[in-house]
Chains A and B, each alone.
Chain A
């Protein structure tokens, strides 16, 4: 006899899990949400997107204040109370996770705090001894940080979760891994006055990203960070009294360095293989990923998988979109994952955001595209923000002018990118954006300008090769 029973059980309450739970509940499905932690929200709310953005905001305020000195507004050197800053970050998190709990109560979603594993295709075993019989299941158990093999067990070596506990602040931080997570946290620590070094195995930071997007950012961090070591391998770590001694192998890297904190952010691994999914007949890849169809069904048709462990980019907004598809399918609706683009944002300063086709992808697939790029140095708003390093780039179908993708570098890029995402989804042409009146003076204008550059109607910049369309 099972302890609980439900029409739908959801494993994991991150942005995928709680969205699926609420959507399904709103459609009249009886839902049980299983979460292994005492709070809802998963990585994103607790130790991911939200807390890191709170800290990044603090970092930006510090940087902006410093930058104004050059233009005649001088503040004193900031005094950082790391504990207070951390507490504020935690308050933000608490408020949000509390809100999620409230939303669950209002919808009569039953929340169970336990670790769940499959017993069969219709039964979950919980680590508190209870069981849940279910008719349908959505697996939304996310991913976890990958650690380097053979690292000493030392509190000074942290993953992204540990790095969010900024109190006490280290003097010297090594970030292993030049991906988005590592670089965002590097940005926070650098602003808080920590000497930051970054080491990346591949030959560039954020591998797979169009290299032009990184240039403005690299120019800035080159001056600020102690060192940026690409094409460099971490060959060993040793815990010593003064710090963690890290040995490197790479052309521009020292043989060793001693750091009083090391952040390992070399990637995340899907949790698909942590659930005994095979007992339910669900196939899981060796990387912990569970393959799904366009309705988010696994190979077992009443069991669904969404989010980080369902393959594709590990992004909260992708998980929540998939969540709605899965929940609607469970409720009997004919929903499919038909999104054509998933935006990516790196929230450093300057922010880097892109959506749809990238140049690397276009070249790989042989897509004939045309690119326009509007430098923010020609944007009145960017200049008045004291930020001229950014740019807005659009990629078009060469023949039809249809918007295929775009990227933005600069403050607020993550907010601005949504317009390009809409253009891609709607199949908009360059003219559709160019002929939409954008407010002046804003950074959003730069998107219109980039479209006008394609159209040949741009007047805010002199383009010698302006063509008549």
Chain B
């Protein structure tokens, strides 16, 4: 394209020095206008910075954790107007209307490049109309449809929008000037042609590809204007949903039954984002699409009837994690295999190594050893390190071993991932565990640090418990839950001895792993933990 434009942080209201918590695109990505580029989080809310234009991201100069303020340049993009913007037919119609008229560059047709004069289009019966507002200044980059000036006739105020995109070279009028049809408004350095040809029938109505010149062959049932294949909507419920008219319109456009959507606004008002999130969740499989009948609902109860209550919003992480957990719980047939591993020797050994490790700045936790053991067990039982293909017809075995581990943070549950864990020794694992946990607590994890796990461990042993049923981090097929180890009497065949036993709770997707395979996995894992020598020998 002709030039790059800066991507600028828009007006953030009262906020300054806002943290970047997510980067949604990278250089080279093609984006559409209004697509989110990065996510900022103020102490009030998270918000996306939208793309100013359709085009390709040239560069992004911020990173997660950076702070930005209104007006900061965060990168560059090259806008694409000529071949990607689909101009709505209505805009391409020659200047019309009492309230929408367009400035037409001098000359019969907008030309592709170079300086052009934007003029006042046909105003109907009006002449000497006053300019009540000038929207552009020299240097402004404007897009098609951006208003240049607002005119006020004695009937109505109307914006004169641009018909070409480009950079304003000079503005020829001031507020208070009067203009008529053909008056010059501004010189623009145009960057692209107006893309849309005259509206074609096909655009407005796919079913009617050409305007009939003669009587169409009489069809008894002409094709309907739209395919009437929207999902069934509970109309009675829709009519009662707590949603404004514009939200209802959006829901209709997307075919969303508002009855299925939980509102996040005050008194569960459904807002635009709720409708979008609902659709997104369905598209990404995070929420089961409302099947016929759907799931029975839990009763809704007015708790305030029974005593004082305090309503607090879910954290952002909870809102994201909730549907995913539910999707896994509902979609995967979970079975949990419990076992006890004798870690008496392992723990004694760890105690010995701990001091040394500490001197090197490493907190050598049991989890590092458990991870090492898991890697060996996963290699022996590769199904546990697999995923079911989307079509449910095949298994995807992963030749990599990226271990997720559940980290408890104030914001909620997050699962950082140690990549290529099989190539790291216990010290390295322990080091990375510490680092990622710290980042998680500070909400500073980057997207790659949260992605790609092939197996997950949820260790609650530091807190307590004897066993639990962890939910699989779908599309993984299994998760290992670890509870608190305790001294237990173990019968050796001759006598009871005190052994330090570690409870393991292994949840698996029964579609992929069957019971015998699962218990072999846990038995093998227990054995590895008990005969820990092999762990240490497995260098990397």
A5 touches B212 (CB 8 A): yes
**With A122-B219, A302-B224, A334-B255 as contacts: A7 and B230 at CB distance below 8 Å:** no
Residue of B nearest to A331 (CB): B204
Chain A residues near B238 (CB, 8 Å)? 338
Q: B226: CB under 8 A from chain A?
A: yes
A330 touches B215 (CB 8 A): no
Chain B residues near A241 (CB, 8 Å)? none
A5 touches B214 (CB 8 A): yes
Assembly CA distance A400 to B268 (angstroms) = 12
**With A27-B204, A28-B203 as contacts: A136 and B222 at CB distance below 8 Å:** yes
B221 touches A123 (CB 8 A): no
B230 touches A334 (CB 8 A): yes
Chain B residues near A231 (CB, 8 Å)? none
Residue of A nearest to B217 (CB): A122
Assembly CA distance A29 to B124 (angstroms) = 22
A330 touches B222 (CB 8 A): no
**Other-chain contact of B225, A99, A136, A336 (Cβ < 8 Å):** A136
B212 touches A133 (CB 8 A): yes
Most buried by A among B90, B223, B244: B90
CB A181 to nearest CB in B, in angstroms, measures 29
Chain A residues near B294 (CB, 8 Å)? none
B221 touches A300 (CB 8 A): yes
CB A294 to nearest CB in B, in angstroms, measures 7
**Other-chain contact of A7, B90, B204, B249, B269 (Cβ < 8 Å):** B204
Interface residues on B, range: 35 or more
Chain B residues near A429 (CB, 8 Å)? 267
A28 touches B225 (CB 8 A): no
B216 touches A135 (CB 8 A): yes
Chain B residues near A6 (CB, 8 Å)? 211-212
Residue of A nearest to B251 (CB): A338
Chain B, range 226-246, C-beta contacts under 8 Å to A = 226, 228, 230, 235, 238-239, 242-245
Assembly CA distance A330 to B206 (angstroms) = 10
CB B387 to nearest CB in A, in angstroms, measures 35
Chain B, range 108-122, C-beta contacts under 8 Å to A = none
Question: Which of A101-109, A204-212, A379-387, A442-450 is the contact stretch?
Answer: A101-109
Assembly CA distance A281 to B289 (angstroms) = 37
Chain A residues near B204 (CB, 8 Å)? 7, 27-29, 331-332
Chain B, range 251-279, C-beta contacts under 8 Å to A = 252-253, 255, 267, 269
**Other-chain contact of B215, A131, A136, A301, A338 (Cβ < 8 Å):** A131
CB A320 to nearest CB in B, in angstroms, measures 15
A121 touches B98 (CB 8 A): no
A29 touches B205 (CB 8 A): yes
**With A301-B221, A427-B244 as contacts: A331 and B253 at CB distance below 8 Å:** no
Assembly CA distance A468 to B92 (angstroms) = 58
Most buried by A among B89, B235, B248, B252: B252
A329 touches B225 (CB 8 A): yes
Assembly CA distance A329 to B222 (angstroms) = 14
CB A213 to nearest CB in B, in angstroms, measures 25
Interface string of A272-306 (1 = CB under 8 A from B): 00000000010000000000001001001110000
Assembly CA distance A26 to B207 (angstroms) = 18
Residue of B nearest to A22 (CB): B97
Interface string of B484-500 (1 = CB under 8 A from A): 00000000000000000
B214 touches A123 (CB 8 A): no
Q: B348: CB under 8 A from chain A?
A: no
Most buried by A among B204, B225, B248: B225
Q: A227: CB under 8 A from chain B?
A: no
Most buried by A among B97, B226, B238: B226
A122 touches B215 (CB 8 A): yes
B252 touches A334 (CB 8 A): yes
Interface string of A420-435 (1 = CB under 8 A from B): 0000011101000000
B245 touches A425 (CB 8 A): yes
**Other-chain contact of B205, A5, A7, A108 (Cβ < 8 Å):** A7
Chain B residues near A27 (CB, 8 Å)? 88-90, 204
B214 touches A122 (CB 8 A): no
Residue of B nearest to A3 (CB): B215
B93 touches A28 (CB 8 A): yes
B244 touches A425 (CB 8 A): yes
CB A68 to nearest CB in B, in angstroms, measures 30
Assembly CA distance A332 to B207 (angstroms) = 9
**Other-chain contact of B243, A106, A107, A302, A427 (Cβ < 8 Å):** A427
**Other-chain contact of A333, B213, B222, B243, B253 (Cβ < 8 Å):** B253
Q: B201: CB under 8 A from chain A?
A: yes
Q: A161: CB under 8 A from chain B?
A: no
Chain A, range 329-388, C-beta contacts under 8 Å to B = 329-336, 338-340
**With A27-B90, A29-B205, A133-B216 as contacts: A335 and B252 at CB distance below 8 Å:** yes
CB A330 to nearest CB in B, in angstroms, measures 5
Interface string of B179-215 (1 = CB under 8 A from A): 0000000000000000000011101111110011111
CB B246 to nearest CB in A, in angstroms, measures 10
Chain A, range 309-339, C-beta contacts under 8 Å to B = 329-336, 338-339
Q: A1: CB under 8 A from chain B?
A: yes
A135 touches B222 (CB 8 A): yes
Chain B residues near A28 (CB, 8 Å)? 88-90, 92-93, 199-201, 203-204
**Other-chain contact of B124, A106, A281, A334 (Cβ < 8 Å):** A106
Q: B13: CB under 8 A from chain A?
A: no
Q: A220: CB under 8 A from chain B?
A: no
A7 touches B222 (CB 8 A): no
Assembly CA distance A220 to B230 (angstroms) = 54
CB A279 to nearest CB in B, in angstroms, measures 11
**Other-chain contact of B208, A121, A135, A281, A333 (Cβ < 8 Å):** A135
Q: A389: CB under 8 A from chain B?
A: no
A121 touches B219 (CB 8 A): yes
Residue of B nearest to A339 (CB): B245
B96 touches A106 (CB 8 A): yes
Residue of B nearest to A326 (CB): B225
B205 touches A121 (CB 8 A): no
Q: B392: CB under 8 A from chain A?
A: no
A26 touches B215 (CB 8 A): no
**With A1-B215, A5-B216, A425-B244 as contacts: A334 and B226 at CB distance below 8 Å:** yes
Chain A residues near B93 (CB, 8 Å)? 25-26, 28, 107-108
Q: A120: CB under 8 A from chain B?
A: yes
Assembly CA distance A182 to B265 (angstroms) = 46
Chain B residues at the A interface, C-beta cutoff of 8 Å: 88-90, 92-93, 96-98, 124-125, 199-201, 203-208, 211-216, 218-226, 228, 230, 235, 238-239, 242-245, 248-249, 252-253, 255, 267, 269
A-B CB contact pairs (8 Å), 24 listed = A1-B214, A1-B215, A2-B214, A5-B215, A6-B211, A6-B212, A7-B205, A28-B200, A28-B201, A103-B97, A108-B93, A120-B218, A122-B222, A301-B221, A302-B224, A330-B205, A330-B225, A332-B205, A332-B226, A333-B226, A334-B230, A338-B239, A338-B248, A427-B243
Nearest 7 pairs of A and B residues by beta carbon: A28-B89, A28-B199, A28-B204, A2-B215, A133-B215, A106-B96, A301-B224
